[in-house]
A = this chain, B = another copy of it.
Amino acid sequence: MFDTTLVVVGNVLAAPEWRRLESSGSFVANFRIASTARRFDRENNSWIDGNSLRVRVSAWRRLAEGVISSIAVGDPVIVYGRLFTRDWKDDQGNNRISYEMEAYSIGHDLARGRSRFARNTPITA
């Protein structure tokens, strides 16, 4: 089977956290994103909030560098990546499950602002 991919359009809930991997020297960044759907309520003839989605996003290597240097709390973003679950046990020994999204691509949502973009210089082989 395949990785399960999805795209989330929402807002960054807190400033990204990051660290540098000792083994490779490359970066990893994490943040949480929230997206709330809007739907048209035909009875009241107006738009109302639908369901929400909140999920933890991780970014690696070049994407982590772009996130660390570009994204702040509250930013409207579009995130594309794969979704998976992790199984773990809490302090009481209960089985727990966490959802996480590893991003392939992240961008500021140009429906809600403007961006000035500077492309990475290519890595010389």
Contact = CB atoms under 8 A, between A and B. Distances in A.
A124 interface: no
Interface in A89-112: 97, 99, 104-112
A85 B100 CA distance: 13
Interface residues of A, number: 59
Copies in the complex: 4
Contact of A78 (B75, B78, B111): B78
A69 to B, nearest CB: 5
A42 B47 CA distance: 12
Interface of A: 1-10, 35-38, 40, 42, 45, 50-55, 59, 62-63, 66-67, 69-71, 75-78, 80, 82-85, 97, 99, 104-120
